[in-house]
Structure 1
Amino acid sequence: MKTLVAAAAVALTLGTAATQAAAQAVEKKDLKIAVGGKPLLYYLPLTLAERLGYFKEAGLNVEINDFGGGAKSLQALIGGSADVVTGAFDHTVQMQAKNQPIVAVTQLGRYPGIVLASVKKAGEIKSFKDLKGKKVGVTAPGSSTNFMINYVLAKEGMKPEDVSIIGVGGGPSAVAAIKRGDIDAIVNLDPVISQAESEGDIVVMADTRTEKGTLDVYGGPYPAAVLYTTPAFIQANPKTTQALADVFVKTMLWLNKASTEDVLKVLPEEFFLGNKTLYAQAFEHSKPTYSPDGRFTQEGAEAALKVLKAFDPAVAGATIDLSKTYTNQYVEDALKRLAK
């Protein structure tokens, strides 16, 4: 018994020492992370990293600020009220076109997981062309959900202005908008989509929760949620950037081995929208969307550029250097350390 107690004391001392060493190693210990819809399965790795204690292990004190959509969390970064963002890869391309470069340092999602569905209360919407003149709910204007509807319209020879975009958030507010009939169609993510589908309120028209669905919509692999920040932050805080990459790579490796039950045990009750069984189903629908290791691919970056060019005149008219939109440097270093 004494041996066990002594061993536990040594382990605790070593753990504390490791945390202190990590805290001393990073340039910026206190960090603000912005996210646009934290309960969405799109951003599940962020909540897992938080609740598994990985930020603390890395010597980081993290404050997570949740916004109504990805466009708003991007604004927080540009405005200086956030240090880093978990948001859509698309923003790294768009911001380069605006001469305000941001860099993705870890990929969280390899498929978008975004679903376009018609709302049954709106009457029959049988094709994408039937969306013309309709009210389409997205998480927030300018977010990745907005980009998906823009691209679907562009493929049909239509313009973003051919529909009315309405921000409905990514939680109970989105479900309520469907129930009330405030929108004719919705572009959103799980668990919102799975709940609305199970209750018979929507009909799925396009689904990027799978590889096939992603290929059907985008014609190739399409990076989704990433961890991104400014080049200035990375330059001033390389060790902090590495610590963040370590946290998210460790989380992705954990997630890809975890069972549904393992994941549910970690999450807060309010994420389940009152139905844990349905949330479990939503997670299983979305599990294929997560990156296996945090790495980016050039093919994925090229797909994002092609999509944005189709409806964003600023991107179409700019010379985009995709090598400046992401880096695998920190992910590769994290994978080497975690493999030891």
Structure 2
Amino acid sequence: MAKLFRTRFYVAIGLMLFVLLFGVLGYRVICDYSWVDAMYMTIITVTTVGFSEVQPMDTEGKLFTVVLIISSVFIFAFAISVITEYILSRNSMQLLKKKKVKNTIGKLSNHVIVCGYGRNGMQAAARLKAYKRSFVVVERNKEIIEKFEEEILFVEGDANEDEVLIEAGIDRAQYLIATLPDDASNLFVVLSARQINKDLFIVSRASLVTSQKKLQLAGADQVIMPDKIGGDHMASLVVMPDLITFMDKLSIEGEHTTNLEEVAIEDFADQVDCNSLRDLDLRRKTGCTIIGYIAPDGEYIINPEADMKLQPKSKVIVLGRPEQIKKLNKMFHIE
């Protein structure tokens, strides 16, 4: 529908320009007017202003003027109706689109809010999309929103304003990712978000080392410095190239490329007797290997022993090829 309106709009504009060009050339050739006089006569004729001619016309000039008036009346009437319809329909469609987005966001819970759709925001959104996580992007640049609104849920506005965060459903959200370009803006976002939702897990971007502690004090659970990570990664490729390249091959991006999976013990508890890692026996059943254990208090244990006792609300980190991870998810009905 939008494409049809746009096509008719361009046709209407084209017809109006054609009438003006037709009139200028006609007066120039038939009546031998100068370019300025020909343009003047065309404008006062098609707009039916009714000023007098710049100079007396012969029969051919008068007949041409009659044809120009009749054709311009119909074409301009058509063009004005199409342009008016296009503007009204565009506004209506924008309102309907905003209402639809608002209703969709209103139904979300335990979702992710991404503040800023710059370079880091786009990367975060792409990863969340690959993992099929529900998320909303807060962005104030209207051009960016119009470019990506067909594939991303956007809330237009400044992420520093509480009303905008509330519109994004921050009271029902589980995570917030602050990726604004400057640290001061991210600091305000973290402060506002933490004030509204005490249970929110907040990840913030930082450019300066001095900002890291301030963001943590403001309420950020994790602070990421992209420039530092990039520099460390490049240096590691020089010092340990094969190890880093191998680590880069480990993907957690999508259904067909995942090599790592985080699984809650509760996903196994209803199906197997899992007092220890040995009881799970994932290596034999699925080919996957448990390389990490996360205790309920958040302690991380790398390469845990097989006899390690499993506690409620703990998690295991599993390594495997994509087909092995898929087999694991299917066997234990893990979404």
TM-score (normalised: structure 1): 0.28
Q: Which has the higher contact order (CA 8 A, sep 6+)?
A: 1
Larger radius of gyration, structure 1 or 2? 2
